[in-house]
Amino acid sequence: GAVVSQHPSWVICKSGTSVKIECRSLDFQATTMFWYRQFPKQSLMLMATSNEGSKATYEQGVEKDKFLINHASLTLSTLTVTSAHPEDSSFYICSGLAGGPGETQYFGPGTRLLVL
Amino acid sequence: LAKTTQPISMDSYEGQEVNITCSHNNIATNDYITWYQQFPSQGPRFIIQGYKTKVTNEVASLFIPADRKSSTLSLPRVSLSDTAVYYCLVGDGASGGSYIPTFGRGTSLIVHP
């Protein structure tokens, strides 16, 4: 299957700082990428849809000024958590849509964010 | 937007076949059904995808009845390493901006020795 990487795999930061997470599709081009957040023992919650060359579409309740998404190329999307607070601590996962009839999503390994 | 319903948890033993059913009563004509496996602190891993009837790959089979209102993931001869959460996802990724992937609660499968 198609491969998606994320960097960093984990990050610890102080409250008030900003953190950038990179999502790369390594062996396919992803016009569309998704960003999810997952809290312990819960399902994945879609935060936003990232389309190459255009503004991201955020789900209801997700602050677009806090979670900045940039999709500058067909293989790279970034999520920046601005002025992070402890409640932003979570597991962030990205995915890319690969080609084919069903346009399958392939997921990255996730990034664990801990805000102190 | 197709909503999915799965059992919250299932238990099995090594070597047994496990069948996990997902209900998606309002599946749309162009929607595909995709199953993922997730281990703790990892991203979901693609298992199998189908549109109708039966699909089989090296790790699983997917059975979809004619009305497509449900689907069943079949894992043959499970091992301890199959202990994970399994999600079914219904949608049409090729629909562009109207595709909003929504994960249900998933099924936590525990395989016992």
Distance CA A32, CA B84 (A): 27
* B96: three-class secondary structure by DSSP: helix
Chain B residue numbers touching A57 (CB-CB < 8 A): 97
CA A1 to chain B, closest CA, distance in angstroms equals 8
Q: Kindly tell me if the per-residue pLDDT of B25 is higher than 80.
A: yes
Average pLDDT over residues A58-66: 94
Over residues B33-89, the pLDDT tens digits come to 999 999 999 999 999 999 999 999 999 999 999 999 999 999 999 999 999 999 999
Instruction: Select from B34, B43, B101 the Cβ nearest to the Cβ of A46.
Output: B101
Sheet containing B84-91: give its strands across. B9-13, B107-112, B84-91, B32-38, B45-50
Spatial distance between the Cα atoms of B101 and A53, rounded to a whole number of angstroms: 21
Using the beta-carbon criterion (under 8 Å), do A107 and B106 form an inter-chain contact?
no
A:B CB pairs within 8 Å? 70
- Taking CB atoms and an 8 Å cutoff, what residues of chain A touch B92? 102-103
pLDDT band at A48 (very low <50, low <70, confident <90, very high): very high
B78 or B28: which leads in pLDDT: B78
pLDDT score, position B99: 77
